[in-house]
Every structure is written in structure tokens, then in C-alpha cells.
Chain A
Amino acid sequence: MNAILPAILFWLGAWALNEWLVRRRPASRAAERAIRLVVPVLFGVSLLVLWEGLVRGFAVPAVLLPPPSMIWTRLISSLPTLWADFRQTFLKSVLTGYVAGCGLGFLVAIAIDRSPFLQKGLLPLGNFVSALPVVGVAPIMVMWFGFDWPSKVAVVVIMTFFPMLVNTVTGLAAASSMEKDLMQTYAASWFQTLVKLRLPAAWPFIFNALKINSTLALIGAIVAEFFGTPIVGMGFRISTEVGRMNVDMVWAEIAVAALAGSVFYGVVALVERVVTFWHPSVRGGRA
């Protein structure tokens, strides 16, 4: 019981501090930004402390839920394994598949841009496929492309293709007719209109798809590894270590996956801010 009370007290204290912090009206811009940063971090830390305290206090067996400290030591001690898994799953399968799938979706969207007939045919299908459990194709891809990373790339390509296609086609239609008319008065060609007007107008939609896909790609690659892999990879490690009841290793792997996913998402979001600096949602954040 000795660890529960301090943990709960810490959590309540952090909560109270947060309540106090968000009511401050700081004079300087820097202080306000600091508060915006500190509040979620404090919340995260208090959750970890609560987890640690409850697990230790109630003596939950490590097989069920290891305390964060145990996961951390495991993470540090098995860095080479984790790095090998990361390289296999993330650098080989996820990135290749992500680039190929998003690139393909983008190119197909451009290709069908001049054919309203194909657009009308492909858009409802694309929307429909986005709602399907696409990860289900994983066993088929493993059968076709073998156990190593190409089959995972195939799954990721299929998963990321349709969100990209649908969003790009929607985005290319986002420029208003007034702006298109202006381009026409400039005697701009289809290509010039595309590059100078419609693509910039489509960036917010395209980045939306890129962000959705960054998560989908990681999920696709990991789940595909459940259906068969060589003896390396995040999905492989998770499924085998679960079988051996090494739950702390599983959590370490999940921590790596979470970090990779968050950084991936963060990088895409950062690029979005740079590319679509003119968009209200970005400008509003700074003002």
C-alpha cells in the first residue's frame, strides 16, 4: 500500500497545479508558450507516476502490467534488438510503402484529373475502400511476396493509396471558379493552372492524407508481420515475446513504435506548417 498514496497525491497535486496554471494570464508570450507546453507534459508525467505507484502498491504481477521503470530498464538494455526491429519494420517496410503508396495515389489523382468520368467512378470506390478493413489483405500479400519486407511494403501501399487518392482529388477541386477564371484570363495552360493554383490550394487536403497515412502505414506494417516474417521486426517481436510472457519487452517495443509514430506524424505536421504557411489554421496558431 505504501506506494499508492504518494502516487495518488502526486496525481492530484499535478491536477491542481494544472488547474491553477491554465487560469494564469501571463504577461509575456514566452511564459504563455511555456504553460502550453508544461501542462500536457505534467499530465503525462503524473500518469506515469500513477501507473508506477499503483502497479507497485497493489503488487500487480509483471506479467500483467510491468511498471514504467521496468520497461525503461528493459528498453535500455536491449537497444540493439530494438534497433534491428526498427530498421526492418520502419525504415524498410513503412517508409518505402508510405512513399510508394502516397506517391501512387497522388499520381493517379493527377492522371484522372482531366477525366470527370473516371473521377466519378473512382471517388465513391475510394471512399468505400477507406472504410474497409484493408489490413485483411496482409495474409494474401505475405503469400504473394514472401515473408520479408516486400510483402509489408505491399500492404502499406494498399492501405495508404486510397486515402491519398480521395484527398488529392478533393483538394484539386478546392480552388474556386473565380481563381480559375483569373488563370484563364492569364491564358494559363492546364499545367500552369495545376502547378500555380490548384496544387497549392490542394496542399491542406494532401497533408491531411499524409498525416492519416503516417499512422496507417505503421499499423499496416506491424499487423502484416503477424502473418509471417523473418526473425526480426516489431510485429514479430511483439507476437513472439507475448508468447514467452516477456511483457516488459513487448512494452519496450510498443514504446519504440509509439515514439516512431509520433515523430513521423510530427515531421509531417511540421512540413505542413512550412508548406501551407498561408492557411488560416496555421496563421491562427501563431497570431
Chain B
Amino acid sequence: MTARDKILPVLTILAALLVIWYAAAVFLNAPFERDTAARAGTTIAFSDIVPRTMAQARPVLPAPHQVLVELWDTTINKPVTSKRSLVYHAWITLSATLVGFGLGTLLGIALAVGIVHNKAMDRSLMPWIIASQTIPILAIAPMIIVVLNAIGISGLLPKALISTYLSFFPIAVGMVKGLRSPEQIQLDLMRTYSASPSQLFWKLRWPASMPYLFTSLKVAVAISLVGAIVGELPTGAVAGLGARLLAGSYYGQTVQIWSALFMAAGLAAILVLIVGYAHSAVLRRMGARP
């Protein structure tokens, strides 16, 4: 399959989505224009409505170009340190995401190593690790934030803790699978070499788990971003992408909500891409042929 073969369908779907979006924007924003016209005692032709629906200050659904203009305005035209700059808010969310992601990765790997090497931990912890994910943990997010705030811990750490909790799970599960992926025949070979347990771990289990680790890391980094965003909701909309969402919804600033959403989507895409790149780099160093 050539690159053109892959890109063309995606572009077609994207173009279709864009058309649908514009149509929906006209359809959803038109009632407001009709009401305004009716209040002014005038009638308004459809050809007049269409351009106006694209330029409302607080549309029900902003047109794509409005979102793009807002994105451009808040990222390029504002100084990075300004509280109106989306880059500033994105950085606050990103820093919490990265700290939480790092902690979650360490915790997940540590748990997986323990589970693989200790049977009691395997039997007693594994069901609870799985059960812990059926808990809608994001529901606890506001409480963790508020409670930690009450004892004087605020800012980055509480949000990072939520990201940690969300991201350790895919990593722990993936790593358990990965560390157990060497086959019996390979384990036997290591034994014939009279490998010590640490050699067995570093020379066989750890390298064998790399593909599993990176697959989990992709999931984990995306979910830690979600955790950081939701963690910003209850702090009363101070800073961060989540705060932008909340402030936008309080004041009906739909364009602001959409631009924050696109910023978050872009951030997620970049993070996943970086992990994907690290994945292929590591695999290449390990001698894998794509």
C-alpha cells in the first residue's frame, strides 16, 4: 500500500467532516439570527443568514475558521507568559501530565516486576489492579484536589497524582504480559547458561517486554493528559486547559472551549507521536527490522 493510498481516504473523510461541520454551524446558529431579526422587526433572507452564522461572538457551534482564528490569536499573537495565551495554559497541563506520566510509568513497572517475581503478589494484587480500573477514578479527582488543597498542597502535584493513578494501570498490565512473554525454551536456555536471576531479568525478560511497554505507554500518555485536564476542573478554573474549558462553559465562550479542545487534541497527538517515535527508535537499536 502506497502512502497516497493511505492518505487519500483520510483526507476525503476529513473534508467531508469539514463540510458537515460548516453545514451544522449554519443550521445550529441560524435560529439566533432569525430571532435577532424578528426582534428588530425585520425579515432576513437565507443568503444573509449564512455569512452571519459564521461570525457570531457566541455561536452554538463555531465555524472551523473561527476556531482556527482563535487558536492563532491565543498562541501566536499573545506573549507566552500572558494568562490569555493558550500556550501558557497548555504548558501548565502538560507539566502535570508529564510528571504524572513519569510517576505512573515507574509505579506500573515496579508493580509488574513484583507481580512477575512474587506469586503472592500476583494472586492478591492482580484482581485488585483490574478492579481499581473499573472504579471511575476521575470521579475522585475533585476530592483529591480539594483535600490536598486543604492541607496546603496545591498546584502541580495533585493533578500529577491523578495522572499517575490513571496511567499506572495500562503499564502494569502490559508489563506483566511483556515480562512473561519469553517462552519456556528461552528461559531454559538462560538456565543452561547458569544465568543469575538479575541476568535473566536484564538480558531476557526486560528486552522481551519492550514492545509491550511502548504499546502501554501510548495508552498511558493519552490517559494521563485526560487526568490532568479533569484535575483542573474543580480548582475553580485558575489555569490549564481544563480551566479554559470550565471558564468557557461558565461564560458561554464556545470559541474558547473549542480552541482549548483542539489544543488538547494537538497535545495528545504530539505526545503519542513522541512515544511512537521512541518505540521505533528502541526497536531499531534492538535490531528489529520493520
Tell me the dominant secondary structure on chain B's binding face. helix
Partner of B138, one of A18, A19, A122, A219: A219
Q: Decide yes or no whether B131 CB sits under 8 A from chain A.
A: yes
Q: Which chain A residues numbered 23 to 47 have a C-beta less than 8 Å away from chain B?
A: 23, 36, 39-40, 42-44
Q: Decide yes or no whether A238 CB sits under 8 A from chain B.
A: yes
B136 lies within 8 A of A239 (CB): no
A22 lies within 8 A of B123 (CB): yes
Partner of A247, one of B147, B246, B248: B147
Interface window among A51-59, A96-104, A137-145: A137-145
* B14, B222, B225, B226 — most chain A CB neighbours (10 Å): B226
Residues in B whose Cβ lies below 8 Å from that of A42: 124
A215 lies within 8 A of B136 (CB): yes
Q: Decide yes or no whether A121 CB sits under 8 A from chain B.
A: yes
Q: Which chain B residues numbered 219 to 251 have a C-beta less than 8 Å away from chain A?
A: 222, 225-226, 229-230, 233-234, 241, 245-246, 248-249
What distance in Å separates the Cβ of A185 from its nearest Cβ neighbour in chain B? Answer: 29
Q: Decide yes or no whether A78 CB sits under 8 A from chain B.
A: no
What distance in Å separates the Cβ of A167 from its nearest Cβ neighbour in chain B? Answer: 14
B233 lies within 8 A of A226 (CB): yes
B13 lies within 8 A of A139 (CB): no
A245 and B225 alpha carbons, distance in the complex (Å): 27
Q: Decide yes or no whether A234 CB sits under 8 A from chain B.
A: yes
A254 lies within 8 A of B264 (CB): no
A145 and B124 alpha carbons, distance in the complex (Å): 44
Partner of A36, one of B123, B151, B268: B123
A227 lies within 8 A of B257 (CB): no
B258 lies within 8 A of A140 (CB): yes
Q: Decide yes or no whether B99 CB sits under 8 A from chain A.
A: no
Q: Mark B53-70, 1 if CB is under 8 A from A, else 0.
A: 000000010000000000
Interface size of A by Cβ–Cβ distance < 8 Å?
63
What distance in Å separates the Cβ of B95 from its nearest Cβ neighbour in chain A? Answer: 16
B254 lies within 8 A of A140 (CB): yes
Are A136 and B120 also in contact (CB < 8 A) when A64-B147, A122-B13 are?
A: no
Q: Which residue of A lies closest to B265 (CB)?
A: A132
A131 lies within 8 A of B139 (CB): no
Residues in B whose Cβ lies below 8 Å from that of A131: 218, 222, 268-269, 272
Partner of A133, one of B13, B123, B268: B268
What distance in Å separates the Cβ of A147 from its nearest Cβ neighbour in chain B? Answer: 11
A131 and B275 alpha carbons, distance in the complex (Å): 12
Residues in A whose Cβ lies below 8 Å from that of B60: 143-144
A265 lies within 8 A of B134 (CB): yes
Residues in B whose Cβ lies below 8 Å from that of A12: none
B254 lies within 8 A of A143 (CB): yes
* B128, B135, B150 — most chain A CB neighbours (10 Å): B135
Partner of A15, one of B120, B142, B222: B120
Q: Mark A99-137, 1 if CB is under 8 A from B, else 0.
A: 000000000000000000111111011001011110111
A234 lies within 8 A of B120 (CB): no
A242 and B261 alpha carbons, distance in the complex (Å): 26
A19 lies within 8 A of B120 (CB): yes
Q: Which residue of A lies closest to B148 (CB)?
A: A64
Q: Which residue of A lies closest to B131 (CB)?
A: A262
What distance in Å separates the Cβ of A38 from its nearest Cβ neighbour in chain B? Answer: 9
B interface with A by C-beta (< 8 Å): 5-6, 9-14, 60, 119-120, 122-128, 131, 133-140, 142-143, 146-147, 150-151, 218, 222, 225-226, 229-230, 233-234, 241, 245-246, 248-249, 252, 254, 257-258, 260-261, 264-265, 268-269, 272
List 15 A-B pairs, Cβ < 8 Å. Answer: A18-B120, A21-B123, A36-B123, A39-B120, A121-B9, A125-B14, A130-B222, A131-B222, A133-B225, A136-B264, A215-B134, A238-B142, A242-B146, A242-B147, A254-B139
Closest 5 CB pairs of A and B: A139-B249, A121-B9, A43-B124, A121-B13, A120-B9
Q: Given contacts A122-B13, A135-B138, list 17 more A-B pairs with CB under 8 A.
A: A18-B124, A43-B125, A120-B6, A130-B222, A131-B218, A132-B265, A133-B222, A136-B257, A139-B257, A143-B249, A143-B254, A215-B134, A223-B233, A234-B139, A239-B234, A250-B143, A258-B136
